[in-house]
Amino acid sequence: MKTIHLVVGIVLTLMCIFFMGFREIGRYPDKIWLDIKNLTLENRITALSSLNKLMEYFQIKKERLIIEGQNWKALEVFTQNGYYTSYYIPYDDPDNLSRKEQKCFIKGLQEIVDRKVVSALSFPGCWYAEIKESLNRSIDLLTWEHRSSQLQLLLSSVGREMLFDPQLKVILVKDKGKYHR
Q: Residue 31: pLDDT above 80?
A: no
Q: Is residue 67 helix, strand or coil?
A: strand
Could you report the per-residue pLDDT of 36-94, keeping only the tens digit for each?
888 999 999 999 998 898 888 877 889 888 999 999 999 999 999 999 999 999 887 88
pLDDT higher than 50, residue 2: no
User: What is the model's pTM?
Assistant: 0.81
Burial tier of 63 (Cβ tally within 10 Å: 0-12, 13-18, 19+):
exposed
Under the banding of pLDDT at 50, 70 and 90, the label for residue 8 is: very low
**Average pLDDT over the chain, rounded to whole?**
82
Residue 141 pairs in a beta bridge with 121, 168
CATH superfamily, region 30-173: Aldolase class I (3.20.20.70)
Taking the domains of the chain in order of start, what are their residue ranges?
30-173
Enclosing H/E stretch for 115:
helix 99-115
Question: Looking at residues 134-153, what average pLDDT do you find?
Answer: 82
How much is the pLDDT for 166?
A: 93
In which band, very low, low, confident or very high, does the pLDDT at 172 lie, cut at 50, 70 and 90? confident
- Bridge-partner residues for 66, per DSSP? 33, 84
> Cα(179)–Cα(160) distance, rounded to whole angstroms?
27
Please tell me the predicted confidence (pLDDT) of residue 93. 86
Three-state secondary structure along 140-176?
EEEEEECCCCHHHHHHCHHHHHHHCCCCEEEEEECCC
Full strand arrangement of the beta sheet holding 120-124: 32-35, 65-69, 84-88, 120-124, 140-145, 168-173
Give the C-alpha separation, 153 to 151, whole Å: 5
Determine the Cα–Cα distance for residues 50 and 117; give it in Å rounded to an integer.
Answer: 21
Amino acid 42: pLDDT: 94
Q: What is the pLDDT of residue 121?
A: 97
Average pLDDT over residues 23-38: 72
Residues 73 and 39: their CA atoms lie apart, in Å, by 10
Q: Judge contact between 51 and 32, C-beta under 8 A.
A: no
Strand (E) or helix (H) holding 35: strand 32-35
Give the rounded percent of residues in the chain with a pLDDT score beyond 90. Answer: 44
Beta bridge partners of 157: none
Confidence of residue 181 (pLDDT cuts 50, 70, 90): very low
More confident residue, 58 or 28: 58
